[in-house]
């Protein structure tokens, strides 16, 4: 699990690298064509927004791992629950964490 300051541990980064090596068939940047990536130091979270309204529902978020191209800075996001970095459905820093796969 991520510490309260949210910086990923070396162990979590190793889990992410292993997951990516098992799951990604190719990792060329879709914007610039380079293949050099940095895993973001922190998770980010996308809040759930109701349709057609500019306000947020409040507590539930989708935690994401960032993969950042070191050449052009294009950033891609992976669901941290599905990757096993965050436990689904548990409270974390007073926010509900969900995977978006119907198990949260
Ligand atoms: Zn790039």
Q: pLDDT tens digit string along 7-58?
A: 999 999 999 999 999 999 999 999 999 999 999 999 998 877 777 666 665 6
- pLDDT above 60 for 94: no
d(CA 66, CA 48): 18
Q: pLDDT tens digit string along 50-84?
A: 776 666 656 678 899 999 999 999 999 999 999 99
Q: How far is the CA of 75 from the centre of ligand 1 (A)?
A: 8
Confidence of residue 93 (pLDDT cuts 50, 70, 90): very low
Q: How far is the CA of 28 from the centre of ligand 1 (A)?
A: 8
Tokens 């300051």, located at residue: 5
What ranges do the domains of the chain cover? 10-97
3-state SS class at 41: strand
Burial 71-88 (b: 16+ CB within 10 A, else e): eeeeeeebbbbbbebbeb
Instruction: Kindly state the tokens that stand for 50.
Output: 């109701």
Q: How far is the CA of 77 from the centre of ligand 1 (A)?
A: 14
Q: How far is the CA of 20 from the centre of ligand 1 (A)?
A: 17
- pLDDT above 50 for 96: yes
């Amino acid at each position: 699990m991520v510490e309260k300051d949210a910086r990923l541990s070396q162990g979590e980064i190793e889990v992410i690298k292993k997951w990516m090596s098992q799951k990604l068939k190719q990792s060329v940047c879709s914007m610039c064509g380079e293949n050099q990536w940095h895993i973001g130091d922190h998770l980010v979270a996308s809040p759930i927004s109701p349709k057609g309204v500019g306000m947020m529902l409040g507590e539930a978020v989708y935690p994401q791992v960032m993969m950042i191209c070191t050449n052009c800075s294009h950033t891609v996001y992976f669901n941290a629950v599905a990757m096993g970095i965050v436990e689904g459905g548990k409270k974390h820093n007073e926010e509900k964490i969900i995977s978006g796969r119907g198990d949260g």
